[in-house]
Chain A
Amino acid sequence: AQRVTQPEKLLSVFKGAPVELKCNYSYSGSPELFWYVQYSRQRLQLLLRHISRESIKGFTADLNKGETSFHLKKPFAQEEDSAMYYCALSVTAGGFKTIFGAGTRLFVKA
């Protein structure tokens, strides 16, 4: 079965510290992975996707098929990074679906 696991519900770091939000997936096909972010009082929005291999707001994420992971990283966290982060997997098995993890709330302390 397809599944996305985000093991940390809450992650708290100090400003300037590195941050890594973990995401593991389960999917037998070729995965397409995304990170979505929800800032306070804003709608959920795309942060980045693995096919683009881009860096957005200093965040990067590398797909590791061997470890079935797609961890989100930033070398120096900022207070404005505080938000809810969701890892998502797009699959075509049984229809076109996007499967979300339970989310990780990142809190960056001053």
Chain B
Amino acid sequence: EAQVTQNPRYLITVTGKKLTVTCSQNMNHEYMSWYRQDPGLGLRQIYYSMNVEVTDKGDVPEGYKVSRKEKRNFPLILESPSPNQTSLYFCASSLQGARRSGKLFFGSGTQLSVL
């Protein structure tokens, strides 16, 4: 089944303890992106990647890192999580490549709580 898979679904951690949220897609999509969803703010883009080894900042990149070593994987790394990073995170992918009008396919989300 074509899909975007995120893990874990739920994560509780403490301030400063490094964590990684994984994202994988099996649709050979070039474009992948991370969003955080907060009440009243909708989805805000953290980082995105146009292709392997090509990543760029979104609107709220502070405190996050990403890597794109393989086409299918796009992990989100929090080197030193803080409570203000408590949020619902979504990974998404799209075939768009050079075309910007791409339909986004979303993962099921990761609820992160930083204590």
- Interface SS of A by simple majority: strand
The tally of residues in B whose CB lies under 8 Å from a CB in A reads 27
Please choose the segment from B11-19, B21-29, B41-49, B65-73 that sits at the chain A interface, where 4 or more of its residues have CB less than 8 A away: B41-49
**Contact residues in A for B74 (Cβ distance below 8 Å):** none
Which residue of B50, B58, B59, B106 is within 8 Å of A45 (Cβ)?
B106
Q: Is B108 an interface residue (CB 8 A)?
A: yes
CB distance from B43 to the nearest CB of A (A): 4
Q: Measuring CB to CB, which residues of chain B are less than 8 angstroms from any residue of chain A?
A: 31, 33, 35, 40-45, 48, 50, 56-59, 90, 92, 96, 100-104, 106-109
**What are 18 A-B interface contacts by the 8 Å CB criterion?**
A34-B103, A43-B107, A44-B106, A46-B103, A46-B104, A86-B42, A86-B43, A92-B100, A95-B56, A95-B57, A96-B31, A96-B56, A97-B59, A99-B45, A99-B59, A102-B40, A102-B41, A103-B42
